[in-house]
Amino acid sequence: MLAIGRALLARPKLLMMSEPSLGPALIIVQDIFNIIKEVHRQGVTILLVEQNANLALKVADYGYVMETGKMIIEGSGKDLINNEDIKKAYLGEAVQK
């Protein structure tokens, strides 16, 4: 959170974040993602690289899914989180057939 606050002091137009969910307790991670949503709501573009696909896609306007260094699918966060292949491979959800 300190790193985010420090970065925001410069009033950036673009904030790049890598793995903000890595390390903190789960309750802190939720706070961090709430802050990410609020910062974006205030007009800052955010480039987020995150392995927690579920959290990332819930806040993403647009997302890219990469596998072994190659982009395999892209689309709105809403479309990606509802994509059956993404659910099965990255979100740990069983696909109903």
Instruction: Kindly write down the DSSP assignment for every residue of the chain, as one continuous string.
Output: -HHHHHHHTT--SEEEEE-TTSSS-HHHHHHHHHHHHHHHHTT-EEEEE-S-HHHHHHH-SEEEEEETTEEEEEEEHHHHHH-HHHHHHHS--PPP-
pLDDT in tens, 10-59: 999 999 999 999 988 888 999 999 999 999 999 999 999 998 989 999 99
Q: Do residues 49 and 19 lie in contact, with contact meaning Cβ atoms separated by under 8 Å? A: yes
At residue 49, the pLDDT reads 95
Domain ranges within the chain, ordered by starting residue: 1-51, 52-97
Distance between CA atoms of 19 and 23, rounded to whole angstroms? 9
